[in-house]
Chains A and B, each alone.
Chain A
Amino acid sequence: MLKVPEHQVAGHIAKDGKLGPLVDDQGRFFKPLQGDARGENEAKFYESFSTNKNVPDHIHKYFPVYHGTQLVEASNGSGKLPHLVLEDVVSCYSNPSVMDVKIGSRTWYPDVSEEYFKKCIKKDRATTTVTLGFRVSGFKVFDHQESRFWRAEKKVVLSYKVNGARLALRKFVSSNSPSDDDDSPPNCAFASEVYGGSDGILAQLLELKAWFETQTFYHFNSCSILMVYENESILMKGGGDDEKKKKPVRAQVKLVDFAHVLDGNGVIDHNFLGGLCSFIKFIKDILQS
């Protein structure tokens, strides 16, 4: 039985009869193949990547596992449509805090249509893409006190400037009630657990960075980095109800959204790499403060 994923923070949402991704109860994510070659392109990427022996194992783990394509009953009622079958990267968490960050100082790339280029560059210039080399697309944080999720408003997120992006990255790892007003500064209570440590977000980003400094297979145009962690397990670590206690799941970095990936042609993905380095600097600064 397929249902709408609970933890989407960006991208198309299968709601109110719209076409969007679905999940099952076995850890699989079904993404409808988007029209106009983008869906095909994403499938092509997954086919290539999943069988690419030149990609080291420790890098494969930053990408959703690919399970081929399947005809599935679409969320908008238009019958059976081809869907990409992927690993649902949040299924091992019960109440994941999730953030989607689009990496790169430009989301357009050579040889796109004039129309697409204009659309992309307008958005890139209006957001932090041009200035920071990345932009926050969306995020939600699990508020353990209220036992509910707080989701950042999309309009607010897209209007972030440099300080807004910084604030969002702090809120993401804070335990004091997040809100869109600046009354109480985020306490960054989980910063060292989530961002830091030998296997935290920063360590994972640095592994990715090293690969991006030499890999020339793919250019990850318009791709996002998804950051996921379990807020609750961190707080449970020191004791708590045995029933509620779950095996703590570590914070994870995943690359997602490969509709615009192209062949690297012997050149590194300098656009993604520059943005990634800028993002790493922001995370480092939060850890140090």
Chain B
Amino acid sequence: MHLKTPEHQVAGHIAKDGKPGPLVDDKGRFFKPLQGESRGDNEVKFYESFSSNTEVPDHIRRYFPVYHGTQAVEGSDGASMIVLENLLFKYSKPSVMDVKMGSRTWYPEASEEYIQKCLRKDAASTTVSSGFRISGFEVYDHKELSFWKPDRKLLNGIKVDGVRLALRKFVSSNTLSETSSKSDSAFASSVYGGSNGILAQLLELKTWFESQTFYHFNSCSILMVYENDSILEGNVDDARPQVKLVDFAHVLDSDGNGVIDHNFLGGLCSFINFIRDILQSQDESSAENLHSSP
């Protein structure tokens, strides 16, 4: 089995300085190291529970990575790794964005130290104000034939306007300069819009979150992926925009309580509104263009 470091990680742990990071094989699988003692177990526990939960409808299951159990992987000191579907396997030059959902990343059951750490980070980012924060993203620029990625430090300090800009840049074809003129949001309707676009998928998820009381997805992210290249070649259908939930180290089983994940849901609704606004301003500007054409 030939394993290598994944190319398109935009957030989360990476393999550095001898510390284990995720790996991918050439058969579409993603190997995630267990994050220390209990957290690692917690993520496995979630995947075990979720994959066998018959009450999760199929159309919701597609928003989660397929789980292939755990495996001891050679070269990682016999440590176990979670084996998942490699979400980017079917894309050749994917543009990817990781958005951490919820107006808080802490939860009552966590340690006081962890709660304080999260509170600080939540207040310093757009988590508290907007109900979500962008953890990272990269966009493929087909003209320059390379990926553009914002500076991580820059991303950590952004406010609401910065989030709007990032969400526009994510679907633009003129991204490559950080100081470039207004992002053209050229792909907004093919990626965010349409019956199979990001917005439609988020709305499906929202409906499920309004009633599901199985899990509380603390500190989870929504991953948005699409194929930039195909759109410009005229294959609008090939953009294949996809929403996936990832990172379940802090998920808690909550079915005993009958309480919905209001924290995730609130943030999701806010995120949906941001996406909608971009789509609407697209409609408005193209309508203007129609009217102003000679």
Contacts and interface: CB of A to CB of B under 8 A. Distances in A.
A110 B129 contact: yes
A192 interface: no
A277 B108 contact: no
B200 interface: no
A266 B160 contact: yes
Interface string B240-279: 0000000000000000011110110111011011001100
A186 interface: no
A131 B107 CA distance: 8
B160 A268 contact: no
B129 to A, nearest CB: 6
Given A105-B103, A270-B131, A133 B262 contact: yes
Contact of B103 (A166, A270, A278): A270
A131 B259 contact: yes
Contact of A281 (B104, B108, B211): B211
Interface in A222-266: 265-266
Chain B interface, >50% SS class: helix
A267 interface: yes
| Size category, B interface | 20 to 34
A273 B260 CA distance: 12
B158 interface: no
Given A125-B108, A265-B160, A277-B210, A213 B269 contact: yes
A275 interface: yes
B123 interface: yes
A270 B269 contact: yes
Which of A130, A214, A268 has the most chain B CB within a 10 Å cutoff? A268
A267 to B, nearest CB: 5
Nearest to A212: B269
B160 A273 contact: no
Nearest to B123: A110
B66 interface: no
A267 B269 CA distance: 10
Nearest to B264: A274
Contacts of B270: 267-268, 270
Interface of A is mostly: helix
- Residue among A162, A214, A281 having the largest count of chain B Cβ atoms under 10 Å: A281
B130 A132 contact: no
A139 B213 CA distance: 27
B231 interface: no
Contacts, number: 81
Interface in B117-151: 123, 128-131
A281 B260 contact: yes
A106 interface: yes
Contacts of A271: 103, 131, 266
Nearest to B109: A131
B265 A277 contact: yes
Contacts of A105: 103-104, 262-263, 266
A182 interface: no
A216 interface: yes
Interface string B210-254: 110100000000000000000000000000000000000000000
Contact of B259 (A162, A216, A268): A162
A25 interface: no
Interface string B10-27: 000000000000000000
A277 B210 CA distance: 7
B210 A162 contact: no
Given A105-B104, A277-B210, A281-B210, A267 B130 contact: yes
Interface string B266-294: 11011011001100000000000000000
A131 B262 CA distance: 9
A277 B262 contact: yes
B273 A133 contact: no
A285 interface: yes
A285 B128 CA distance: 29
Nearest to B256: A162
A273 B266 contact: yes
Nearest to A274: B266
A4 to B, nearest CB: 36
A214 B203 CA distance: 13
A267 B274 CA distance: 8
B269 A133 contact: no
Contact of A274 (B262, B273, B277): B262
Interface of A: 105-106, 110, 125, 130-133, 162, 166, 213-214, 216, 265-268, 270-271, 273-275, 277-278, 280-281, 285
7 contacts: A106-B104, A162-B259, A267-B273, A273-B269, A277-B260, A278-B260, A281-B213
Given A266-B277, A271-B103, A278-B260, 17 more contacts: A105-B103, A105-B262, A106-B103, A110-B129, A125-B108, A133-B262, A133-B263, A214-B276, A216-B273, A266-B160, A267-B130, A270-B269, A270-B270, A274-B262, A275-B266, A281-B210, A285-B258
Interface of B: 103-104, 108, 123, 128-131, 160, 210-211, 213, 257-260, 262-263, 265-267, 269-270, 272-273, 276-277
